[in-house]
């Protein structure tokens, strides 16, 4: 499974439709302060189902819509589309490509599309569960999180490592089995 592309349209500072095609290997996004680097990451978290406006540095969810700038009117709608190559069927969907779109309007109405079909939020979160892309995963590590990991106690750090290594799931299953 590979991240293929990201299309951001009207989300935060991206008033114009912006497409990022990810090549094989590493992609670095660089730019001056305030140029929208963090907004790109937030667009990814948002399209994958982020429900907390606060964690996206917004008051309420419609605030993620482009709010206007000098000589640029605010927009009424934001959308983000993420495309994964899924030829290895890593995501549990029998499709070579998985395309997720999230849209939101000023009045708060929002929708998710999965390969062109309207779905519920829980279909998206369900799809991402156990893939390393879910809400609690470590595939996206924010600046603050790095600091938290460095400052954590050895036991806490061990738990983080176990989670990354996928051991935690088995530990929990073992505990459950022992209780039964």
Q: Which is nearer to Mg ion, 6 or 98 (CB)?
A: 6
Binders of ligand ATP among residues 57 to 116 (CB under 6 A) are 63-67
Return the bridge partners of 18, or none: 8
Q: Which is nearer to ligand ATP, 9 or 86 (CB)?
A: 9
Among 37, 45, 77, 135, binds ligand ATP (CB under 6 A): 37
Question: Which parts are annotated binding residues for ATP?
Answer: 32-39
**Interface with ligand ATP includes 5 (CB under 6 A)?**
no
**Interface with Mg ion includes 38 (CB under 5 A)?**
yes
Question: Which parts are annotated binding residues?
Answer: 32-39
Q: Which is nearer to ligand ATP, 6 or 98 (CB)?
A: 6
**Interface with ligand ATP includes 13 (CB under 6 A)?**
yes
Binding site for ligand ATP (CB under 6 A): 12-13, 31, 33-39, 63-67
């Amino acid at each position: 499974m590979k991240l293929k592309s990201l299309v951001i349209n009207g989300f935060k500072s991206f008033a114009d439709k912006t497409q990022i095609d990810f090549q094989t290997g590493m992609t670095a996004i660089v730019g001056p302060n305030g140029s929208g680097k963090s907004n790109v990451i937030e667009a990814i978290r948002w399209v994958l189902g982020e429900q907390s406006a606060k964690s996206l540095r917004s008051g309420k969810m419609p605030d993620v819509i482009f709010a206007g700038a000098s000589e640029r009117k605010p927009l009424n709608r934001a959308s983000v589309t993420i495309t994964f190559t899924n030829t290895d069927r890593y995501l549990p969907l029998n499709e070579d490509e998985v395309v997720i779109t999230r849209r939101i309007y000023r009045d708060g109405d929002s929708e998710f599309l999965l390969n062109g079909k309207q779905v519920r939020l829980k279909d998206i979160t369900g799809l991402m569960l156990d893939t390393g892309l879910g809400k609690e995963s470590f595939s996206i590590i924010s600046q603050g999180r790095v600091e938290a990991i460095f400052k954590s106690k050895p036991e806490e750090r061990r738990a983080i490592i176990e989670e990354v290594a996928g051991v935690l799931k088995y530990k929990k299953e073992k505990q459950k089995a022992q209780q039964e």
